[in-house]
């Protein structure tokens, strides 16, 4: 009976809480053709960590500078948007 209690309690819990980390980057291109097309640095918010973002989006052709990071509650599936930074929400209230 005592061994079955944790299993029973695990089965009773119906809600699960998820969270993910969001990152804000300043991305600069080192592509020689980007100079002629006028490409500039961009602020990007992503759920990819710095190494994954750089390897997925350009490798040695871009520089990725991490500006800030925060935790978002919830689920990222079904193309849901990344949550805003908590300080941005406070600035909008004031």
Does any domain span residue 50?
A: yes
Give the separation between CA 68 and CA 70, rounded to whole angstroms.
7
pLDDT, tens only, 55-65: 998 888 889 99
Does any domain span residue 37?
A: yes
Does any domain span residue 47?
A: yes
% helix, strand, coil for the chain, step of 5: 35, 30, 35
Instruction: Retrieve residue 88's tokens.
Output: 């941005």
Q: How far, CA to CA in Å, does 65 sit from each of 25, 27, 28, 41?
A: 5, 6, 8, 10
Does any domain span residue 75?
A: yes
Does any domain span residue 57?
A: yes
* Local structure of residue 2 (DSSP, 8 states): T
pTM of this prediction?
Answer: 0.69
The torsion angle over the Cα atoms of residues 58, 50, 65 and 33, rounded to 10 degrees, is: 0
* Local structure of residue 4 (DSSP, 8 states): H
pLDDT, position 69: 95
| Domain housing 30 | 15-93
Does any domain span residue 1?
A: no
- Structurally, how many domains does the chain consist of? 1
Does any domain span residue 60?
A: yes
What is the pLDDT confidence band of residue 43, given thresholds at 50, 70 and 90?
very high
pLDDT, tens only, 14-36: 566 788 999 999 998 887 776 66
* Local structure of residue 57 (DSSP, 8 states): H
Does any domain span residue 8?
A: no
């Amino acid at each position: 009976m005592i061994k079955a209690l944790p299993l029973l309690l695990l089965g009773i819990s119906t809600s699960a809480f998820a969270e993910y980390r969001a990152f804000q980057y300043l991305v600069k291109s080192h592509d020689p053709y980007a100079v002629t097309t006028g490409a500039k640095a961009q602020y990007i918010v992503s759920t990819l960590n710095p190494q994954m973002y750089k390897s997925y989006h350009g490798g040695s052709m871009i520089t990725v500078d991490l500006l800030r990071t925060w935790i978002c509650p919830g689920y990222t599936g079904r193309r849901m948007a990344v949550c805003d930074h908590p300080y941005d929400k406070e600035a909008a209230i004031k």
